[in-house]
Amino acid sequence: MKVAVFSTNYYDREYLISANAAGKHQLTFFNEPLRLESIILATGFNAVCIVVSDDANKKVIDQLSVFGIRLITLRSTGFDNVNLAAAEALHIKVMRVPSYSPQSIAEHATALALTLNRKTHKAYNRVRDNNFSLNNLMGFTLSGKIVGVVGTGKIGRAFCTIMQGFGCRVIACDIRENQAMKEKGIEYKTFEELLCLTDIISIHCPLTSATHHLFNSHAFSKLKKGAMLINTSRGGVIKTTDAVEALKSGQLGYLGIDVYEGEANLFFKDMSGTIVEDDLIERLMSFNNVLITPHQAFFTKEAVEQIAVTTIQNLSDFENHISSANELKSVPNKPAKLAANENV
Ligand code: NAD
């Protein structure tokens, strides 16, 4: 199958070429993201392969259909950047990589929390400058703290297990409770209860209409003063302007994010030689209790290899008309409900 692979870096190419060693598919790599402005690149292909920073909105999908594209395959788990209903209406199949290494993301969330707490990033720079003072490096003992996990899917569950290993009490909220996690001692509460009770919160739910700006001024006002918030899920789950206000007031004590609402224009690019026009991320970076990484939580050898293998498998399954659990179907959005016992 002829596939236009958008938003590629050297590592995407290396691992996809290796997964496609048998030469089943003809892959053409583009550095450009998929956008209306770059869509002409998809001419003459049967499928497009995209990532989270690409934009498969309705207009893009309409045009892809005109070009004869029959498959959009995502090299990611999250698919909030694809208008599934528009694709379905035009009989374009959408596939994804539902799981590649949940531990990779959970471990990165842990790294953000530990770094913010123990300030190893500051110590590293300080010591290189022959400054061996301990001023402002004091952290807190993680063992015994209460950790809140929003979304106990594959990544959330891995994060719960890591936090239990640190000796933390773990509270979770999800629209579906996980029995196995309950048996492991995870306590399910409502979202509001979780906000009030926890010292550290880690977000692991998808971005949906129900979770968009879930962390807003109202949620921040319910936090334990000085709590830590970690987000490796999707930027849109946090209303960034409200987070800035909560940081200024000290209500939010630490913020560690691997994802950001405006990341599509910034992340995965080297912008060190240009002027960044996004004032909000610049404001965030001015706080000494904010740590930002550029959507790298997934970025381990194991995960990138698995993404490539599953992507090639998705292409083959589509070509051979094999039905796959990796296909995405559009479902009407359900209203936001975060009560602990709700089953949807
Ligand atoms: P998953 O589908 O296994 O789990 C998501 C969980 O969130 C489910 O248990 C679901 O019931 C729950 N959920 C849905 N709506 C909710 C709500 N309103 N409130 C609370 N919980 C809710 O997904 P996963 O593999 O664990 O991935 C989670 C998210 O992590 C993805 O959607 C993606 O956005 C993000 N992600 C980020 C990276 C990265 O590199 N930063 C990599 C992979 C995934």
Query: CATH fold of 102-292, please?
Result: Rossmann fold (3.40.50)
The Cα diameter of the chain in Å comes to 64
Domain boundaries, the chain: 2-100+301-328, 102-292
Q: Please indicate whether residue 35 is annotated as part of the active site.
A: no
Expressed in angstroms and rounded, the spacing between residue 78 Cα and the centre of ligand 1 is 8
What is the tens place of the pLDDT at every residue in 116-153?
A: 999 999 999 999 999 999 999 999 999 999 999 999 99
pLDDT the model gives residue 236: 97
Expressed in angstroms and rounded, the spacing between residue 273 Cα and the centre of ligand 1 is 34
Expressed in angstroms and rounded, the spacing between residue 141 Cα and the centre of ligand 1 is 28
Q: Identify the CA nearest to 185 among candidates 172, 174, 196, 197.
A: 172
Tens of pLDDT along the chain (344 residues) come to 999 999 999 999 999 999 999 999 999 999 999 999 999 999 999 999 999 889 999 999 999 999 999 999 999 988 999 999 999 999 999 999 998 899 999 999 999 999 999 999 999 999 999 999 999 999 999 999 999 999 999 999 999 999 999 999 999 999 999 999 999 999 999 999 999 999 999 999 999 999 999 999 999 999 999 999 999 999 999 999 999 999 999 999 999 999 999 998 899 889 999 999 999 999 999 999 999 999 999 999 999 999 999 999 999 999 999 999 999 998 754 433 333 222 21
First-to-last CA distance in the chain?
Answer: 37
Residue 147 · residue 170 · CB < 8 Å: yes
pTM above 0.75, yes or no: yes
C-alpha triplet 142, 237, 60: angle, nearest 5°? 140
Q: Identify the CA nearest to 281 among candidates 225, 234, 243.
A: 243
* Residue with CA nearest ligand 1 atom 3: 153
Say whether 102-292 and 2-100+301-328 share the same fold.
yes
Q: CB-based burial of residue 91 (10 Å sphere; 0-12 exposed, 13-18 middle, 19+ buried)?
A: exposed
- The closest-lying atom of ligand 1 relative to the alpha carbon of residue 210 is 18
Q: Please indicate whether residue 157 is annotated as part of the active site.
A: no
Architecture, CATH, for domain 2-100+301-328: 3-Layer(aba) Sandwich (3.40)
Report the distance separating Cα 168 and Cα 163, nearest Å.
6
Please state at what angle helix 10-19 crosses helix 301-319, rounded to 10 degrees. 50
Q: Please indicate whether residue 218 is annotated as part of the active site.
A: no
